[in-house]
Amino acid sequence: DQQVKQNSPSLSVQEGRISILNCDYTNSMFDYFLWYKKYPAEGPTFLISISSIKDKNEDGRFTVFLNKSAKHLSLHIVPSQPGDSAVYFCAACLSGAGSYQLTFGKGTKLSVIP
Amino acid sequence: DVKVTQSSRYLVKRTGEKVFLECVQDMDHENMFWYRQDPGLGLRLIYFSYDVKMKEKGDIPEGYSVSREKKERFSLILESASTNQTSMYLCASTPWYSGANVLTFGAGSRLTVL
């Protein structure tokens, strides 16, 4: 049972335009969500996160939106740059003490075309 | 910055060999994790450890074991490597605290089993 779903395996966007990456989850107990970015031959790096008490979190060109009723979150990158080309993983967890595990989606490969 | 070091970036082993993947972190983190990443499957948790000599199974522990004799070191062991264990292996760590965990990943170890 896949609890975190990224239904688009790949996405191509023109440089300067907006990239929107989507993620759905099924476990209503998840209360903290994260996005990781991964370049080939490197480990994933943390990008941005959001708590379930918020519906938006912004960090520079990156904004994450959370719609709890729809169990959906999205990552917006504006403007997109060629260096943003990578695989993006959505992850979710329970934020209370003793929660060690992140559940990851399968990833979306973003290609930003110059 | 937290540094998670995976000593072997690329390994080629034969079916039936015993394989050790080593991971060391330098920030005194309590929690350490082993994931594998496969195309189309995302990141899947193999094992994790929240203290020295403690270990917990993740989602796909079959065919693997782990060792945590020192706080900074977490080893993944393939007792008898098989071709379906060809993958990218990622180690991660995070401190213990009451809240969501932001994993810090190593660069990964790409294992090929022939």
Bigger pLDDT: A47 or A93? A47
Q: Whose structure tokens read 């050790």?
A: B20
Percent of all residues in chain B with a pLDDT value above 70, rounded to a whole number: 94
* Interface probe, candidates A6, A102, A108, chain B, greatest B C-beta count within 10 A: A102
Reduced to 3 states, what is the DSSP secondary structure of residue B66?
Answer: strand
What is the tens place of the pLDDT at every residue in A52-83? 999 999 999 999 999 999 999 999 999 999 99
What is the tens place of the pLDDT at every residue in B48-67? 998 898 899 998 999 999 99
CA B17-B21-B23 angle, to 5 degrees, is: 170
Q: What is the pLDDT of residue A25?
A: 96
Reduced to 3 states, what is the DSSP secondary structure of residue A84?
Answer: helix
Residue B100: pLDDT over 70 = no
Q: In sequence order, what are the beta bridge partners of A58?
A: A63
Q: Cβ neighbours of residue A64 under 8 Å, at least 6 residues apart?
A: A33, A35, A48, A49, A50, A56, A57, A58, A73, A74, A75, A76
* Interface probe, candidates B11, B48, B102, B109, chain A, greatest A C-beta count within 10 A: B102
Minimal Cα distance from B93: which residue of A? A100
Q: What is the DSSP letter of B98?
A: S
Tokens, residue B31: 């929690």
Chain A residues in contact with B4 (beta carbon < 8 A): 43
Q: What is the pLDDT of residue A85?
A: 97
- From the list A87, A57, A69, A88, the residue with the least C-alpha distance to A25 is A69
Distance CA A22, CA A24 (A): 7
Identity at B50, one-letter amino acid code = Y
Q: Would you give the end-to-end CA distance of chain A in angstroms? A: 38
